[in-house]
Amino acid sequence: MGVDRRGFLKIAGISALLGLGGKTAIDFLAPGDLEASMDAVPLTEGKRWAMVIDMQKMDEEMMEKCIEACHSEHNVPDLGNPKDEVKWLFKEEYEHTFPGQKHDYIGDEVKHKNFLLLCNHCSNPPCCRVCPTKATWQRKDGVVMMDQHRCIGCRFCMAACPFGARSFNWGDPRKAPKELNPEFPTNQDYPTREKGVVEKCTFCAERIAKGQLPACVEAANEIKENVFTFGDLADPDSGVRAILRKHYTIRRKPELGTEPNIFYIV
């Protein structure tokens, strides 16, 4: 068990009384706990987490459920102003999701069919390359991670991401309009952010570390199984590898060489 905020404050209070400070105090009062809590979210066993989304089985209702699950899991508020919108998981029409694939003769149904989009957790992520503080980086298990508490808000990563997967807190998310967010923060176990930092999908790093599925996958599974397949591309026996062998899948903008790890069955 790590030291939670409450525990930390307790220890800090007692140690102040005892005239102790810093790491010594925690080592003395709660031996062994500090190391664990100072690590970021623990790494997973995987080597290259990836997701296959079967768009043939997906519908609008499921997309909405997934987005809601994601945004409430991660305390993403509704700011009420589209210009300032923060979105980790979102919908976009086919012709805008795959702009290189559109032509004049696509039927309207396909053309305007919504796709579910999120960070592609690219194998060769330009966002990590450009970040001046390593606030966004690629973990050994492939997750493109984001530290909202180190980010300085330069927004270079937003310019560098060819998928529009990143959002900036133009205003203070903690001051999001109450009438739109009566229950904010929706998840007490997940940190809220300051204004002025970038955020995005992290493949639910905090959940997969515990062996759970990402929130969107879990929400979809409650409605219908096998719409999402989440797994390790490095493992030849994984579910994602089996699906990729069997089905024709497409990725967004593969020509840019970022190697996206979200695959769509269309």
Partner 1 sequence: MLDRAVTGSQKYWGWLIFLLILMGIGFACYLYQFKVGLKITGMSRDVSWGFYIGQLTYFVGIAAGGVMVVLPYYLHDYKAFGRITILGEFLAVASVVMCGLFVIVDLGNLPRMINIMIYPNPTSILFWDMIVLNVYMLLNIVIGWNVLSAERKGIRYQKWVKVLIYISIPWAFSIHTVTAFLYAGIPGRHFWLTAILAARFLSSAFASGPALLILLCLIVRKVSKFDPGKEQIRTLGGIVTYAFILNMFFLLLEVFTAFYSQIPGHMHSFIYLFWGHEGHVSVLAPWMWASIAFAVVALVLLIVPAARRREDILAVGCVAVIASTWIDKGFGLVIGGFIPNPFERVFEYWPTVPEVLISVGVWATGFFILSVLYKIVVSVKEEVAA
Nearer to partner 1, 11 or 161 (CB): 161
Piece of the chain touching partner 1 by CB under 8 A; list 7-15, 82-90, 182-190, 220-228: 82-90
Among the listed residues 165, 62, 87, 63, the one whose alpha carbon sits nearest the alpha carbon of residue 120? 165
Closer CB to partner 1, 13 or 164, in the complex: 164
Measured CA to CA, the distance from residue 138 to residue 128 in angstroms comes to 7
Find out whether 86 and 167 touch, Cβ atoms under 8 Å: yes
Question: Is 14 a residue that touches partner 1 (CB under 8 A)?
Answer: no
Can you read off the two tokens belonging to residue 235?
């493992």
- Yes or no: say if 254 and 45 are a contact pair by the CB < 8 Å rule: no
Nearest approach in angstroms of CB 192 to partner 1 is 14
Among 60, 159, 178, 221, binds partner 1 (CB under 8 A): 159
- The count of residues in the chain is 266
Residue 13 lies near partner 1 (rule: CB under 8 A): no
Confirm or reject binding of residue 135 to partner 1 (CB under 8 A).
yes
Contact between 200 and 176 (Cβ < 8 Å): no
* 84 is a contact residue toward partner 1 (CB under 8 A): yes
Closest to partner 1 by CB, 146 vs 198, is: 198
Question: Is residue 256 a contact residue for partner 1 (CB under 8 A)?
Answer: yes
Size of interface with partner 1, in residues (CB under 8 A): 47
Rounded to whole angstroms, the Cα distance separating 125 from 137 reads 9
β-sheet bridge partners, residue 138? 144
Q: How far is the CB of 122 from partner 1 (least distance, A)?
A: 10
Q: How far is the CB of 162 from partner 1 (least distance, A)?
A: 3
CA trace torsion 83, 87, 90, 95 (10° rounding): 40
Instruction: Kindly tell me which residue out of 57, 65, 91, 96 binds partner 1, with binding defined by CB under 8 A.
Output: 96
User: Is residue 92 involved in binding partner 1 (CB under 8 A)?
Assistant: yes
Question: Which residue of 44, 72, 75, 97 would you call a contact of partner 1, by CB under 8 A?
Answer: 97
Buried b (16+ CB within 10 A) or exposed e, 83-102: eeebbbbbbeebeebbeeee
Answer whether 98's CB lies under 8 Å from 148's CB.
no
Pairwise CA distance, residues 124 & 131, whole Å: 14
166-205: contacts with partner 1 (CB under 8 A): 167-172, 194-198
Q: Which helix (H) or strand (E) holds 65?
A: helix 60-73
Stretch touching partner 1 by CB under 8 A, among 50-58, 153-161, 182-190, 217-225: 153-161
Q: Is 7 in the site for partner 1 (CB under 8 A)?
A: no
Do 212 and 219 form a contact (C-beta atoms < 8 A)? no
Any contact of residue 57 with partner 1 (CB under 8 A)? no
Interface residue list for partner 1 (CB under 8 A):
81, 83-87, 92, 96-97, 99, 126, 129-135, 150-156, 158-164, 167-172, 194-198, 253, 256-258
